[in-house]
Each structure stands twice: as C-alpha cells, then as structure tokens.
Amino acid sequence: MLLISVVGSGIMGEALANGNTAIALLANAIATGCMLYVIITTLGPISGAHFNPAVTIAFALRGDVQKASVAPYIGVQIAGGIVGVWAAHLMFDLSILQTSTTQRAGISQWFSEIIATFGLLFVIFGGLRQRPEAVPALVAIYITGAYWFTSSTSFANPAVTIARGLSDTFAGIFPGHIAMFIVMQLIGVAVGHLVLTRLFATP
C-alpha cells in the first residue's frame, strides 16, 4: 500500500502537472502522507506498523523488537514494496518490470537521507514517549513535509529505496545509487539510537 501510493501518485502527478515538477511533487507528498496515516493507524495494532527496515532496526536496538524477527520483517518489507511498485505500474498500464534511470546522488542527497531518517525516528520515538495516539499523524505530517525540505525527497526507508529502483517513473531512483542511500539511512539509525534513546528515555 505504501509503494502503491508513492509510485502511483508520482505517475498521476507527473501526468497531470504539464511539466510542473512542484505540482507533481506536491501530489506525491500529499498522497504518501495520507497513506502513511491510514496504514499506521490500521496496521499498528497488528504488527507495530513496521514498513521500514530502518525503523525495525532502530526498535531492535532499543530492545523493543526481538532480534530474530528483524530479518523476516525486512524480507517482507522489501517484498511488499516491490509488489506495490508492480501494482502501481499495472494500474497505470505501464510495463510491470522496469528499472529507474533517475539520478539521485551526491553529498547533498546522501546527507539529506541521514537527516530524513533521523527525523523520522525522532518523530516516532518522541511521539511514543509523549503522545502515542498521535504517532500516525505525526509520521504522516513529517514525511509530507520532508518530501519538500530534503533534497533527496526523504526516502528514509531502505525497502522503499530498493522498490523505487524498479520504477522508471517520477518516484524512481537509479539502481546504482540505491546502496549509498541505504548506507546513509543506516547512519541515520545509528545517530538516532545514540541521541534519541537519551532524549526520550523513560524517567
């Protein structure tokens, strides 16, 4: 569902924006934020709303997820993301199997992924500490904004990054640039673990 919204809204936004990238990005951000709110609210009570390997790893480092569960979670997150991309392609009558040609590289975008991932963890763990019932809205609002205030458009999710490499559409990323994005996201997790476990420690 997450990748259907990311890729599908990118396709629709680009098709309707008549070349206006800002409008396409706005559509992409709003649709993604809306979907995040829905799936976190509905699936949180079932699975903890683990759609993101970076978040799952961060919870495991805190001891809130069993380490034996991390690899299965990540496998399903990646598989689900890929299926979502294929579903979006099918909905818009595109070739299902693709690889992206969109170049996303350079220090600015790599640093953006550290900030985007750290910020996402800040919102999640801060929300759980202060107002757990607000976490779905907090994450949705944060990602909607982060699409705009990061030069990378805030992937902040290794599974999403991998899946978007398989879509040569507005939301895509060239497969050769995926590895560095994931490395930066994991650095964001490490920084988040060092900082946020102290900032939001239970008294």
For each successive 10 residues of the chain (203 residues), what is the average pLDDT?
A: 98 97 98 98 95 98 94 98 98 98 98 98 97 97 98 98 98 98 98 96 80
What is the rounded radius of gyration, in angstroms, for the C-alpha atoms of the chain? 16
Give the predicted TM-score (pTM) of the model.
0.96
CATH number reported for the structural domain that contains residue 59 in this entry? 1.20.1080.10
Q: What is the pLDDT of residues 133-174, one digit of tens each?
A: 999 999 999 999 999 999 999 999 999 999 999 999 999 999
The residue range of the domain holding 187 is: 2-199
Total domain count for the chain? 1
Residue 195 to residue 81: CA distance in whole angstroms: 29
Residues 6+ apart with CB under 8 A from 49: 39, 40, 43, 136
